[in-house]
Chain A
Amino acid sequence: MKLFSSAILLLILISCNEESYPPYAQIESFPLIGDSTTLFEFNSDGSYDKKGNGLALQYRWDFNGDLIWDTDYSYETKYVKRFPIPGTYYISVEVINNNGLTAVAGDSIIVFGMNKDTSTLIDPRDGKSYQIVKINEMWWMAESLQYGVVIDPLVVEMTNNQIDERYLVYDIFKQDTFSVYSFYEAIKYDLHHEQGICPDGWHIPTENEWRSLFNNYPLEYAVKYYGENGLSGLHLEKGASPYRWHDPDMPFHSLGEARYWSSTYFTDNLDVFHAGAMSFNESGSFDFGYIGKNHLTGMESRAQYLGTIRCVKNHK
């Protein structure tokens, strides 16, 4: 009997010994970076107890790093949540087993909201005001330039006449007008004049400056981020940008993409001049490409490509 009792006691000790071990907690957040509209997922599926499963574990969550638990214990291993206020959030999950032993795991996420680094630029030349936005330490115009004397596309061509000129195009979707320029008018007919038609202290963006916007993000996300009503506040339009055709009834035709001039250019092996432009197309992608001289000028009965202008502030 003694032996039997000892065996039982030993069995009890052996079989219950595992309960003195705390569980192991694990957390995985998805995504790690999002905005105030993103639904974040927190997953503690990888947590387990001594027996190697998480079935008997319960979970509670803290979503702001104050270690005051924001939920009660639950058997659900996942939680999803939005964060309306931008910032860095420290997320913790506490896992508890049947014996009341706990373990904690933590992770952090970054929530960014609408870019608050915005200001206003007053163009001293005509007193017009523009929304500007700071992105990657650079200030960009968040609206297209509307500077210059409006000329009639049916009557007058843009020429190097010491007058800053623009065409005014009516956008039937927005029921508003916007200004377009030829490449040469944009750079004021001087290839070494980076400022172009921009206000003093600002310049036409280079290819690298345009590309710097898009290098850090997958294309589709960047288009959304920088596009109209995107969280960057840059509000690049995807709408149509026109070209001027030799058509008296219809001075502007559309290529179905918005074109923004850059100050970058090159001359190819055949001595043909090309100017760079950044474009959004209707399907929502961007492309930086070069346009040949014939299309820049409209020579040889070709369409003259026009574009809008977003100025960027000079580096100090």
Chain B
Amino acid sequence: MEQFGALKTINKIMIMKSFGNGILLIVISWLLCTCSNDLPIVYQTPYKPVVYSILDPCDSFCYVTLSKSFSVREDVTHALKGNTKLGIDDAIITLEAWGDGYKLWETGFTRYNNMVTSPKTFEPGRSCYRSNKMLLFVDPAYEDTRKKWQYDYFRLYIYYPGFDLPSYCRIPSIKGPLVSYPRSGMNLNLYGSDQSYFQFELDLSEAKYADFICFFYFNEYTDHWTKSKVSFIVKKNMVLIDEYPIIRLYEEAFFNKLVRSFEQESPVDTRIFDHMEFKFTISDEYFHDYVTTYQNVSDSDIRKYSNILNAYGIFAMKREVTIPDILFDRQTLDSICYGRYTKHLNFLHW
């Protein structure tokens, strides 16, 4: 009985404890409910415009692609099949360049059907528009003295029939990177203490994202000689923390990337290296955020990124600089022809 009585007491204590825990849980829940900020519930209207435009002021034209958002519950494949279903064909688009608080330049856009589409960037079904005017902006980054870039901001806005409010975005302009070393004509050396490097000059308040790409030009022979090229990203999504970032190329990583870029190429009898170009591309914080949002995203984890009012998507700015005519020094060229990484590519020492 005593044992039973003791058991009852223990039960009582446990009931008290669980009651206390329950109260604590309720109180904490209540606290969380009452004192937390109610975050906005994102609801899906029938559709929102999806805008994609990356502006490079040194390009000839600016392009904008438009489509309608769709619910993931819909059959995506079906939606993508109908080319006109997702596109928005009758939008009125304006791009403006502003300096010192004044609109200094503007252009409208026209539907453009000759877009060379890259499979990931311009999916079928999107409507592509091209600026009516050529950009023709003078780039102070390539002048001897770095004059103030006359455009402070670029604005993109888009009116759609049936939508009351325009999609709108204003982005600050960013200066292009300068090549500190080398201008061109370097004999690239991947070995030893005098290993080659590339150095740039940036404005870190503007540049937040950078890619470094190699364009590798060569001639190849099967039954006749043809010119060809492959390209690969040497460094992607670089974290920019130095005003004068230095990029060094390391033998193993460089050759592995080079070899991978040849995987889609047909086998040939002989190849002869011609030259390389390196392109250093920088982008603004919006592009950085966009890439960061969507990298390593699974189908079940769809996130929405937008820097555009009344739309999904991105309007961002990129700038690039190309270092042309890069060759290899003798030792590195020997490696390409006879080294363990690239020997099977059949490069001849020329």
Contacts and interface: CB of A to CB of B under 8 A. Distances in A.
Interface of A: 4, 8, 11-12, 15-16, 18-19, 30-34, 38-39, 41, 49, 51, 55-56, 75-76, 78, 80, 97-98, 217-218, 220-221
Given A39-B157, A76-B309, A32 B37 contact: no
Nearest to A78: B309
A16 B98 CA distance: 45
A56 B38 contact: yes
Interface stretch (B163-171, B174-182, B247-255): B163-171
Given A38-B103, A39-B157, 20 more contacts: A4-B20, A8-B27, A16-B31, A16-B35, A19-B35, A32-B101, A41-B168, A55-B39, A56-B37, A56-B38, A56-B39, A78-B168, A80-B157, A217-B102, A218-B100, A218-B102, A218-B104, A220-B99, A221-B103, A221-B104
A218 B31 contact: no
B34 interface: yes
A236 B38 CA distance: 57
Contacts of B38: 56, 98
A78 B34 CA distance: 28
B112 interface: no
Contacts of A218: 99-100, 102, 104, 150
A80 B150 CA distance: 24
B131 to A, nearest CB: 17
A19 B38 CA distance: 12
Interface residues of B, number: 27
Nearest to A223: B104
Interface of B: 20, 27, 31, 34-35, 37-40, 98-105, 150, 153, 155, 157, 165-166, 168, 170, 309-310
Contacts of B310: 76
Contacts of A41: 155, 168, 170
7 A-B pairs with the lowest CB-CB distances in the bound complex, closest first? A56-B37, A221-B102, A220-B104, A75-B40, A80-B168, A15-B35, A78-B309
B20 to A, nearest CB: 8
Main secondary structure of the interface of A (DSSP, over half): mixed
7 contacts: A4-B20, A16-B34, A51-B37, A55-B39, A76-B310, A78-B168, A80-B168
Contacts, number: 65
B37 A49 contact: yes
A111 to B, nearest CB: 13
Contact of B170 (A30, A49, A55): A30
Contacts of B27: 8, 12
A210 to B, nearest CB: 20
A33 B98 CA distance: 12
B168 A39 contact: yes
A82 B106 CA distance: 16
A213 to B, nearest CB: 15
A31 B35 contact: no
Contacts of A51: 37
Nearest to A19: B35
B251 to A, nearest CB: 47
Nearest to B20: A4
Nearest to B94: A39
Contacts of B309: 76, 78, 80
A252 B298 CA distance: 70
Contacts of A49: 37
B37 A98 contact: yes
Contacts of B153: 30
A12 B101 contact: no
A39 B170 CA distance: 11
A30 B155 CA distance: 11
Contacts of A76: 309-310
A294 to B, nearest CB: 33
A55 B40 contact: yes
A26 B150 CA distance: 28
Contacts of B170: 30, 41
B39 A31 contact: no
A217 B101 CA distance: 10
Contacts of B155: 39, 41
Contacts of B99: 218, 220
A206 to B, nearest CB: 26
A150 B99 CA distance: 45
A137 B155 CA distance: 33
Contacts of B35: 15-16, 18-19
Contacts of A31: 98, 101-103
B166 A39 contact: yes
Contact of B31 (A12, A30, A217, A220): A12
A4 B27 CA distance: 12
A194 to B, nearest CB: 33
Contact of A220 (B37, B105, B166): B105
Nearest to A32: B101
A296 to B, nearest CB: 33
A16 to B, nearest CB: 5
Nearest to B168: A80
Nearest to B157: A39
Nearest to B309: A78
B31 A11 contact: yes
A44 B309 CA distance: 13
Nearest to A74: B40
Nearest to A58: B40
A107 to B, nearest CB: 14
A46 to B, nearest CB: 15
A97 B39 CA distance: 11
Could you say which of A33, A51, A218 has the most chain B C-beta atoms within 10 Å of its C-beta? A218
